[in-house]
């Protein structure tokens, strides 16, 4: 009896680890926010919810959502080039427009003249696109060996059966009209079942959870709908307790998120969707610095792009993805399949370790800006608390073997000294260099307070 109980406790943990292993190794994903909001370059869904744009004007953007230059194969190839191992696209944002082939119709708001409620609110029936735009991308991603992620908003501000609409008002309270809420749940759960059957995502990225409790969403039922036919799918943490990994947004965490697996979702400029007025793109150096911070903490980066209404990706975002591709290809061993690096206090920077802990990778920011004479310039870095000696120290992407020396080691003390390394600027990567340090045995760290032992 006790043996059976132990097995029942251990098995879910084993299954969870196997299920999320690819995610933990992936390190980089690409987020795609695409919808009608790209037509006028307005805030995705929030524009009408916050009353900055009237609902009729917002929804009229469907007429300009043409995707006439959409090339899912080219998208998938660019994502592959970036070094990303998974991609998440919006199948339906808070505005209710489905980008996939939904068969389900929702209750339209009263006095609606913007879209025909005789048909589903989708790109097939309500836009000039007249087709499913998610399925061909998923097919292209699969061909490139990239895992497929489906963003889905649990809420739907366009559905007349959904309680919320504007930020300062609601259609009804759940306790006053439970039958109406059940109508919405039937619709929402039905769409998730459609996505699961039609698209078979490797990953679900839920959003909009903040408006209701786990019980009200019937999160257990959503989990069951997905895993009954798609047992290996993983879910983000916004499905409350049923999530497999945490998803902090925009701001890099200082402390490790609660779940062992996590990703930072981050925009390349200031907005998720296409905004022609938003030219505040993060620099390649800034984005790669954040990326190394994420993987140094054992997490992933989900980097967002917002295609235009015609299906083209802004040049700035193409350039960012290509630069990521250059950098990830050069330093692949330090990225994919790595684990979190040195604990705080050992190295003043980001780092990762090989899974067997016999190789340490140090990320060294390269000097930004013009340097007149790089020939003899060196950047000193140091590591504290290394008990075992390196067998080799190499600047990745070059043949340069780097010398080191230990400072402060006392012969009669077991406490290690500080290992100093000088990196030649002339050979450094334009953005961030990686120092590969190999050891004969798994790395051992001194974690004491200094002194004699």
Average pLDDT in the 248-258 region?
A: 91
For 21, residues 6+ apart whose C-beta sits below 8 A from its C-beta are none
Element (H, E) at 186: helix 178-198
CA distances in angstroms from 329 to 21, 209, 315, 336, 426, listed in the order given = 21, 36, 21, 10, 20
- Other CB atoms closer than 10 Å to residue 309's CB: what's the count? 27
Angle subtended by helix axes 315-330 and 284-296, to nearest 10: 50
pLDDT at position 176 is 95
Tens of pLDDT, residues 327-354: 999 999 999 999 999 999 999 999 999 9
CA 305, 308, 312, 314 torsion-angle sign: negative
pLDDT greater than 90 at residue 363? yes
pLDDT greater than 60 at residue 5? no
The share of the chain scoring above pLDDT 70, in percent, equals 95
Q: How far apart are CA 20 and CA 342, in angstroms?
A: 23
Give the CA dihedral 244, 246, 247, 249, nearest 10 degrees.
Answer: 170
Instruction: Specify the pTM.
Output: 0.93
Are 144 and 134 within 8 A, CB to CB?
Answer: no
Average pLDDT in the 84-94 region?
A: 98
Mean pLDDT of the chain: 92
Q: How far apart are CA 405 and CA 354, in angstroms?
A: 23
pLDDT at position 115 is 83
The share of the chain scoring above pLDDT 90, in percent, equals 82
pLDDT greater than 70 at residue 452? no
pLDDT greater than 80 at residue 48? yes
Q: Where do you find CATH 3.20.20.80 in the chain?
A: 2-330
Q: How far apart are CA 250 and CA 415, in angstroms?
A: 40
Q: Where do you find CATH 2.60.40 in the chain?
A: 339-439
CATH topology of domain 2-330: TIM Barrel (3.20.20)
pLDDT at position 372 is 63
Terminal-to-terminal C-alpha distance of the chain: 48
pLDDT at position 270 is 96
Average pLDDT in the 235-241 region?
A: 91
pLDDT at position 141 is 98
pLDDT at position 408 is 83
Confidence bin at 453 (pLDDT 50/70/90)? low
For 165, residues 6+ apart whose C-beta sits below 8 A from its C-beta are 49, 109, 157, 171
Q: Which of 74-83, 250-259, 267-276, 350-359 is predicted with the least confidence, judged by mean pLDDT?
A: 250-259
pLDDT at position 111 is 76
pLDDT at position 17 is 63
For 151, residues 6+ apart whose C-beta sits below 8 A from its C-beta are 31, 33, 88, 89, 90, 91, 92, 93, 205, 206, 207
Nearest to 126 by CA among 157, 95, 151: 95
Q: How far apart are CA 405 and CA 417, in angstroms?
A: 9
pLDDT greater than 70 at residue 10? no
DSSP bridge pairs for 418 = 384, 407
Give the CATH number of domain 339-439; options: 2.40.50, 3.30.40, 1.10.1740, 2.60.40.
2.60.40
pLDDT greater than 70 at residue 192? yes
């Amino acid at each position: 009896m006790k043996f059976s109980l132990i097995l029942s406790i251990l098995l879910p943990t084993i299954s969870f680890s196997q299920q999320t292993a690819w995610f933990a190794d992936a390190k980089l994903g690409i987020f795609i926010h695409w919808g009608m909001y790209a037509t006028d370059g307005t805030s995705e869904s929030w524009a009408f919810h916050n009353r900055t744009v009237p609902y009729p004007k917002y929804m009229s953007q469907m007429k300009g959502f043409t995707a006439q230059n959409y090339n899912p194969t080219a998208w998938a190839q660019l994502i592959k080039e970036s070094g990303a191992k998974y991609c998440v696209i919006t199948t339906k944002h808070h505005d209710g427009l489905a980008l996939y082939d939904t068969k389900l119709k929702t209750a339209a708001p009263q006095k609606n003249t913007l879209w025909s409620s005789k048909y589903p609110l989708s790109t097939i029936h309500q836009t000039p696109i007249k087709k499913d735009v998610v399925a061909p991308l998923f097919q292209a991603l699969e061909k490139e060996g990239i895992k497929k992620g489906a963003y889905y908003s649990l809420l739907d501000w366009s559905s007349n059966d959904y309680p919320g609409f504007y930020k300062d008002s609601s259609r009804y309270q759940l306790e006053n009209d439970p039958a109406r809420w059940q109508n919405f749940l039937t619709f929402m759960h039905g769409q998730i079942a459609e996505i699961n059957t039609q698209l078979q995502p490797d990953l679900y990225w839920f959003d909009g959870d903040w408006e209701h409790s786990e019980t009200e969403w019937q999160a257990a039922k959503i989990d069951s709908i997905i895993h009954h036919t798609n047992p290996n799918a993983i879910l983000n943490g916004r499905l409350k307790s049923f999530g497999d990994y945490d998803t902090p947004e925009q701001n890099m965490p200082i402390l490790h998120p609660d779940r062992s697996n996590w990703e930072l979702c981050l925009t390349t400029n200031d907005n998720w969707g296409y905004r022609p007025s938003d030219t505040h793109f993060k620099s390649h150096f800034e984005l790669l610095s954040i990326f190394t911070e994420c993987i140094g903490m054992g997490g992933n980066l989900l980097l967002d792009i917002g295609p235009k209404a015609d299906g083209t990706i802004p040049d700035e975002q193409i350039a960012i993805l290509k630069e990521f591709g250059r950098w990830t290809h050069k330093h692949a061993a330090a990225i994919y399949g790595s684990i979190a690096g040195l604990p705080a206090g050992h190295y003043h920077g980001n780092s990762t370790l090989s899974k067997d802990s016999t190789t340490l990778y140090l990320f060294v920011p390269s000097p930004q800006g013009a340097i007149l004479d790089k020939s003899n310039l060196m950047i000193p870095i140091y590591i504290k608390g290394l008990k075992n000696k390196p067998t080799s120290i190499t600047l990745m992407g070059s043949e340069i073997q780097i010398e080191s020396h230990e400072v402060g080691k006392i012969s009669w003390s077991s406490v290690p000294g500080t290992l100093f390394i000088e990196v030649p600027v002339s050979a450094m990567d334009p953005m961030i260099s990686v120092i590969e340090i190999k050891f004969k045995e798994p790395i051992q760290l001194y974690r004491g307070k200094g002194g004699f032992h």
